[in-house]
Amino acid sequence: MKFFFHIFFHLILVYSATAQFEYDLAECIAIALENKKTLRSAELDVQSAEKGVKGSYSGLLPILNATVGSGRTQFPEQENVTYDLSGFPNVSSDTLSITHYNSMSAGLSLNQTLYDGGRSINTVQQAKINLEISKLNQRQIKT
């Protein structure tokens, strides 16, 4: 029984050894870097920091607001006039008029911060520093 167990064990070992691929060192490093989750996380941190640099310029740029509006107001008006003359038939007069007003408005405003004590410039510089930190962190993880 031990003999059959050893033969079976060796057959499985030989079969599994022939089914494997051969990789050189560069391929092994490339596969390891592809599957390293911390490296993927560092790449996402770099992308996030790049978006943060773009967003940090919002404090330096002007703010433009545009508004448009329109309206219509209608005033129905009805007037009844009745004449009662003795001996003559009744004479009546009806007047119906509708008055309406149209209104339209438009507005445009531009706001620009002139001075904020250097806060906007420092926000941009901080975002750039965060980007450099993310890139250095990514480089450190790759090694």
Look at 9-23, 33-47, 128-142 and tell me which has the smallest mean pLDDT. Answer: 9-23
Structure tokens at 50: 């790049």
**Domain, as residue range, for 128:** 2-142
Structure pTM? 0.54
Domain count, the chain: 1
**What pLDDT is stored for residue 22 in this prediction?**
82
Return all residues near 72 (Cβ < 8 A) that are at least 6 apart: 100, 101, 102, 103
Q: Which amino acid is at 9?
A: F
Tens digit of each residue's pLDDT (9 = 90 or more) over 76-110: 766 666 666 666 656 666 666 677 788 899 999 99
Mean pLDDT of the chain: 81
**Cα-based distances in Å from 110 to 64, 104, 117, 139:** 5, 21, 21, 43
Tens digit of each residue's pLDDT (9 = 90 or more) over 40-74: 889 999 999 999 999 999 999 999 999 999 888 87
**What pLDDT is stored for residue 54 in this prediction?**
96
